[in-house]
Amino acid sequence: MNEQGRTIADAAKSLGVSPWTMSRWVRAAKHEGADAFRGHGQRTPLEQENFELRQQVKQLEEERTILKKAAA
């Protein structure tokens, strides 16, 4: 039961979604809070950091390749 006294199955039925989907949403809201439903293209802070680090690694690898060619 949630704070409104409804079961997940009851709430899911009223929204027209499966109870499984509703339970996933509830679990996500409990674990991630406001970040649970970011929308399309929105990253969590950890995902954003990971993205930026991958971009930096890619740039450094390209620079290393250029330097190797120049040294040869």
Question: Is residue 41's pLDDT more than 70?
Answer: yes
Query: How confident is the prediction for the chain on average, in pLDDT?
Result: 88
pTM: 0.49
Number of residues written out for the chain: 72
Between CA 38 and CA 42 the distance in angstroms is 6
Q: What would the pLDDT profile of 10-19 be if each residue is shown by its tens digit?
A: 989 999 999 9
CA angle at 43 for the pair 26 and 21, rounded to the nearest 5°: 25
In the chain, where the domains are located? 1-37, 40-72
